[in-house]
Structure formats: structure tokens, C-alpha cells
Structure 1
């Protein structure tokens, strides 16, 4: 492979914004998928992830579509998604990251992926990294004339009113906000020079366990649960990103709740290795880092404390994106914390998003 922009390359990122700021901006739906920079040089294709690892073995179903849709020599930034019944499904996407080739092959047939292109970094012998986004977008739209499903062009607009309509409407398709791109900016790898506007909500959750921080000091994440209408406590996600001081405080805060008899915990069966096979249980290893020796064990707690957390959105009864602890709620009984708190928008087909202009 010999391109003007070569792998490995970390993608340009976005930092949170609470409003639509002033300035010349281009607005795009924010996709809930796996970030992917595609490098194509003839028949050779490399799919680079956000952390520069190759996605080729996990999404073999996209390699031929890239050869058919993309220019012979190019570098295109975008997102790999999986849609089930026309709506984004992050759980199904996550299942594609599996060590067994036979399972990857099977899932490539059952839950095929799509690719949403939203930037172009190189064409032919020319790097476009230093070009303003407006120019890169024009070049991307030109090559998009050759796109065919499962390769798509991300919709974009300079109209703020339309962007806010997208923000509200497209959540129902599994999208979690807007990306705001300064139109005159170059492409800056691994820097948060763009902005993202996301939905922010809160919920009161039961603290059912915790993991020790990777440093070994204090709580790294609180494992959260909510009660179903049938009275079962379901795992809905974790709250993390604590300061060093807060990690130690939390460890002291929950010390009296630690269960010595793990069989008494509502999720005791989840502590068996077999229960973690699909990756959805609290102690399941991360598919991205399962081979790096990290400890994915967790400490069960008596589910007696309630914490309020902020979250962007939820699907299928689980939090998506970053979930942060706001405060303890000593005034709430754990049994009152139900899954009915989670607002899930009216479904919108992904075809409506892709057709937006």
C-alpha cells in the first residue's frame, strides 16, 4: 500500500457542546457505531479502528463493497454500523467483534454491516488533510456518486433549524445527537477540534456492584441495575470516569455493602464464565481488550443503594455512551428504580436518515 495518507491513523474527534455555538458549522447526525478509516490502494483495503487496530477480520462483508464503491486510491473516514429491521443496533454490532472466524462469518451473513462515509482524507496522490472541511465535503460528495449500499454518504446541512429537527427526529433511528464541524478546519488526527451535541437525561439506578480501577486504587466503575416490571433486577450499564479522590471515596462508601456470599446476589449466575459468552454480563471481558490480561472481575454489592446518573440515551433497556454519576439518592428505595425511567424514542427507519438532505 502506497497512499499519501497511510495507516495507522487516529481519527479526528469531537468534544461535547451544550448548545449550537455561533460560527460557520456543518451539521451531521451522530452515528452510534464503530469509527473506521478506510484506506484503499487498488485491491488492498485496510479498515482502521479508532485505536488503529484493523477491523478487516471482523467485517469481511465490507471489503468487496469498498472495492466496488470507493475510488481506486483513497482514504475515507466514516462509521461502521449494523441496522436490524431498519434501526441501528449497537448490541448486534458489538457481537461482530468475536475471536472465532466461523462466528464472524456467520454474523457477516446474518447481521451485515453498512459504512457511513463522512470525510475524505486523500484521493489519488493528493492528501486532503490540510484542506478545509468545505473542500473535503465537496470532494466526498463527488465520489459518493459511485457509492452503492452498503456504502453510504452521511447527510450534512448548514441549516441550523434543519439540524435541530434532525437532532430530535433521528434519535428514533438509534442516532445519539449531532456532530458540529467548523467548515474551515483542516483534518487533525486524534484532536477534539469538532463538537458534538448529545441528548442528556438522568435516571435513578441501583448500585449492584463495582470494579476496581485499572490502577488498583479505588472504584473504577459502578455497576448499575434497574428493576423490570416483573421485579427482576437487570444490568443496564456502568457509571465511570471518576477522579482519583472520588475513586477512593466510593470504595469507602460501598465497603459495608460487599457481599461475602456471592450466591445471595441477584446476578450470582453471571459470575460463571459460561454466562459471559455473549459479552452482555457485568463480568464479561471486553472484545477489544480481552487478550491484554486486564482483570474484568467485579465485586457484588447488596443492591440497597441508589445513585442518580446522567446518560445520553438508552436502547433495549441499556445505557449507550457515557454514563456519569451525579449524586447518591438516599431518599429512593431500590425497588422504586424501574426500567420505565428509560425514555426510548419513537422508532425511525435508518433509510430516512440516509435520505435526509
Structure 2
């Protein structure tokens, strides 16, 4: 079941924090535990610590939740450590020992007696709480509240700990596989970045590739925007003007061409992204959420273009971190 973005939380719902992790459905079978990502990818080999924990649950149990790794030094979730699980190879068990993963469960989809999809969420939640209370030791139960003001405080107070926002759910709703039925309100703020490349054309750019300079003066890739739409024409004029003013133009970008698929920070399949390098002199303000990977120095989710900051130079933009 999926959540659709919204500007504010609806009344009359139950609310849960949205952790910065990987969505995962866990199938507890008689002889094994199978972990499946939102993109139907098999995550089982990468999380032996989680599968070992879930083996204590009755066979036939199916859970929906979020895989997270907690960073005790920074007191927040660590998305980069999740990504390392997929690439760790022979060091996987070392990763699992040094940075154990946790499974935050928010729904019970089946029990040994059969599927629970048609039951109201409030009934599934009651069953889930009873199941985890009897498990030795249990996975983590996702917090839930019916108080919308408390949920809004979560979005603010828990942002630094890696909570991206709040999910609102109908307490009487059934679980609809693959369909939108929940509401997602993300914690967002604005930031400044430098345009280092665009997709589409210079006259009408589609997506902006964003950068920031590090302490050594190198332009580092920090993320990309959603398609800018009609605003692209006005923005494109500024980019063309800057490019046209260059002397002895060197169009080589400090970033790989095309942009590597892994730079998107997503688990699902992505393709390398061809782009047009531009002179890094245009500063833009963008709206971003809390999913910032300090280790990689990038926003994981696409930013929303707000405006050109003609009043700022590239030297006014915050330096890149994590490199």
C-alpha cells in the first residue's frame, strides 16, 4: 500500500512517523524469512540480523515496515549504512555486527490463520501489538497516535533523528496492495545550491543538477530537482546567458557524464542520466526534505525548485559536506 503526498495532515486519522529507511515486507515462512523491497527486490541476503530476529515469529506471519540503521554517534538513522549492506560483499557480516539493522513494523498483513488485508487497520494494529508483545525479543513497533497535534510535533522534534515526516492512515481502512490509500506529509525546508547541469535543453531545462563547493574548491554533486516545468523557460534564459558570456569555454563537467545511476541514492532500478553541463554561477533556492545523507553529501529525494537567488553568489552557498 502506498502513500500520496499532501500539504497537511487530514483530521480523523491515525498518524505514524515516516523513518528514513527502506520499505520492506517480511514473510515469515516455516523454513526461512524472506524480505522484499518496495520495488520487489529480494533484500534477504543483506539483513541476516533482521531475518534472525523475525524467525521467532509464527510461520505465516507477514509484516510491513521500514528497515533502518541507527547511528549512535550522530543520534539519527544512517541511510548510507543501509546502502552499504548491498555492496558489502564479504564484509557483510562485519557490517551487520558493527551497524545492526532494525525493522520498524507498522502493519500486520497475515497471520498463521490467513490474510488480514480486509480487516480495518485498527484491528490489524491490535493484532500486531499482541503479536510483538509475545515475541522474544520483538521487532520495533512503529509509534502511532490519533492526536494530529502530537503528530505535527513529531515532524518537527524528530526530524534531526531521521524522521522524514508523518503518514496519515484511515483507522477503518483495509490494506490495498499496490494502491495509494495513505497520506504522506514530509518535513521540508529550503536550501541554496548551484546549478551545475541540466537535462533537456539550455533554453528549456527539465531537471536541474545541483552542486555545492567543498573546502578544496571542487563543485560536488548534491542532488537534483523535480522537473521545473514552465519555470524552465525563464531559468533557461539565465543559464544560456551565463554560458554565452564564457570565454575560452571548457564544457567539461566536474561530474561524470552521464550521471551515475547510483548517485540518485535510491534502491530501485535507475539509469545513468545524460545532462548538459553549465557554468556554475546560478544559485537557486530549493525545497528539500529531511533525507540528507551526510556521508554521501547529497539529498536523496528530488528537491522542488523555488526561485533563482540572483542576490547570492556561489560563495554565499553553504559548503558541501561528507567528502
TM-score range, shorter chain: 0.7 to 0.9
Counterpart CA distance in 1 for 2:265 and 2:142 is: 32
1:138 and 1:144 mapped to 2: Cα distance?
10
Contact 2:132–2:138 (CA under 8 A) maintained in structure 1: no
Change (3 A) 1:299 1:112: farther
1:207-250 CA distance string (max 9 Å, x none):
0123569xxxx75532212345775544321112455x777887
The CA distance in 2 between the partners of 1:40 and 1:301, in whole Å, is 51
Q: Does 2:315 match 1:335? A: yes
**Correspondence 1:326 to 2:312:** no
Q: Which residue of 1 aligns with 2:4?
A: 15
**Structure 1-normalised TM-score?**
0.75
CA distance in 2, matches of 1:220, 1:44: 46
The partner residue of 1:302 within 279, 299, 316 is 279
Aligned length: 311
Displacement, 1:145?
0.9
Cα deviation per residue 1:238-274 (whole Å; 9 max; x = unaligned)? 112455x7778877764566796356x5xx3x5399x
- Quote how far apart the aligned CAs of 1:191 are: 1.9
Partner residue of 1:237? 223
Which residue number in structure 1 is paired with residue 210 of structure 2? 224
Residue 162 of structure 2 is matched in structure 1 by: 174
| CA deviation after TM superposition for structure 1 residue 339, in Å | 4.3
- Does 1:54 find its partner at 2:49? no
Moved more, 133-142 or 302-311: 302-311
Distance, in Å, in 2 between the alignment partners of 1:150 and 1:271 is 45
Query: SS at the partner of 1:135?
Result: helix
| Deviations, residues 291-320 of structure 1 (Å, cap 9, x unaligned) | xxx334544322111222111224525324
CA, structure 1 residues 179+331, in 2 after alignment: closer, same or farther (shift >3 Å)? Answer: same
Q: How does 1:33-182 map to 2 (within 5 A)?
A: 33-68=21-56, 70-85=57-72, 86-98=75-87, 101-147=89-135, 151-182=139-170
SS of equivalent residue, structure 2 residue 151:
helix
3-state SS, counterpart of residue 44 of structure 2: coil
Aligned to 1:205: 193
Gapped regions of structure 2 (runs ≥ 5): none
Residue number in structure 2 paired with 1:271? 256
* Conserved? CA contact 1:114–1:150, under 8 Å: no
- 1:61-95 CA distance string (max 9 Å, x none): 32211102x22211100000111114201122122
Spell out, residue by residue over 1:82-129, the C-alpha distance to the aligned partner (whole angstroms, 9 max, x if none).
11114201122122222x631434422332211000001110132111
Larger mean Cα displacement after TM superposition, 191-200 or 145-154: 145-154
CA distance in 2, matches of 1:191, 1:220: 28
Pair 1:295–1:196, CA change in 2 (3 A): closer
Stretches of structure 1 lacking an aligned partner (at least 5 in a row): 1-11, 343-357
2:95 and 2:7 mapped to 1: Cα distance?
38
Q: CA deviation at 1:336?
A: 1.4
Name the Cα RMSD after superposition.
Answer: 3.4
TM-score scaled by length of structure 2: 0.82
Deviation at 1:190, TM superposition (A): 1.9
Residues 309 and 326 of structure 1 are in contact (CA less than 8 Å); yes or no, is this contact kept in structure 2? yes
Q: 1:27 aligns with which of 6, 15, 23?
A: 15
